[in-house]
Amino acid sequence: MTALALECRDVAVGYGSGRAASPVLAGVSFGVSRGGRLVVLGRSGSGKSTLLRLLNRLVEPVAGAVWVEGRPIVDHEPLALRRRVSLVGQAPIVFEGTVRDNLATRPRHVEAPSEDKLARSLEDVGLSPDFLDRVADSLSVGERQRLCLARALVSDPSALLLDEPTSALDPKSLGVVADLVLSLAERRGLSVVAATHQPELVRRLGAPVLLLENGAANASVSAEDVERYLDGR
């Protein structure tokens, strides 16, 4: 049996401690195979972001276990793990400096990526290498979103975690990003977990759906369930 790329086993996350603790996720279990895809669907505040942050160990579960590439997540060195399981956050945050500076952001001990690699990362997300010397702050929201995606690709990850990748985009751009994610996953053999509340993105990605409601997960939802959930919004 091949190990799953990402797996959650009966995971719970809570903020605060003692009686004041409020559960964000409870009893969440699912698995994503290597090169596989999963859409995490839920309304805002349902724990989608927390679930993604769990998979690159920005948060710790209070119960259950997270496994990455066949090993408990705690057995991975957290910084190396985050370069293999790349999270692209909901807000398209760009750092000070040029697009090149953004793409070259890395831990001190990691060698600088080659010019070729930077250009390829940009091309992979549909941006021209001419963007390298542009000031990151001057980019449009859509371009920033692509830059964030390209930045996450520079470390050659094996899995991509996308938090609401299209929430700031118009319907046309949503379709473009969805196609981009699909082709990237295909070309690079990436496992992809995308969290969204947008019906259109769920349909475009055509991946198995994990439905999050009030912190609890339902991994065995049928296509009809999803449609009903989306229509009932």
Partner 1 sequence: MLHAVLPIPWWRLLAVGASLALLLALGQALHLRIGRMALVSSLRGTVQLVLVGYFLGALFSVRRFELVAATFLVMLGVAARASVGRLRRPLPGLGWLASAALGAGTALGVVFMTAVVVRPVPWYDPQYVIPFAGMLLGNAMNGSSLAGERFQEDLRSRIAEVEARLSLGLSGPESVHPLLTRALRASMIPTLNSFAVAGVVQLPGMMTGQILSGVAPVVAVEYQILIFFLLMTSTAVSTLLFLLMLRSRYLTASHQLRVDLLR
* Least Å from the CB of residue 126 to partner 1: 21
- Structure token digits, residue 67: 């496994």
- Structure token digits, residue 142: 């859509």
Q: Which of 24, 87, 160, 211 binds partner 1 (CB under 8 A)?
A: 87
CB atoms within 10 A of CB 171: 9
* Least Å from the CB of residue 8 to partner 1: 18
Closest CA to 92 of 191, 168, 170: 168
Phi–psi pair at 123, nearest 5 degrees: -60, -35
Q: Which of 106, 120, 134, 188 binds partner 1 (CB under 8 A)?
A: 106
Question: CB–CB of 86/56 below 8 Å?
Answer: yes
60 binds partner 1 (CB under 8 A): yes
6 binds partner 1 (CB under 8 A): no
Task: Report the chain's C-alpha Rg in angstroms.
Answer: 18
25 binds partner 1 (CB under 8 A): no
Q: Which among 40-48, 49-57, 167-175, 197-205 is the span making contact with partner 1, rule CB under 8 A? A: 49-57
* Least Å from the CB of residue 78 to partner 1: 5
What DSSP character marks residue 20? G
16 binds partner 1 (CB under 8 A): yes
- Structure token digits, residue 186: 């295909």
Nearer to partner 1 by C-beta: 25 or 209? Answer: 25
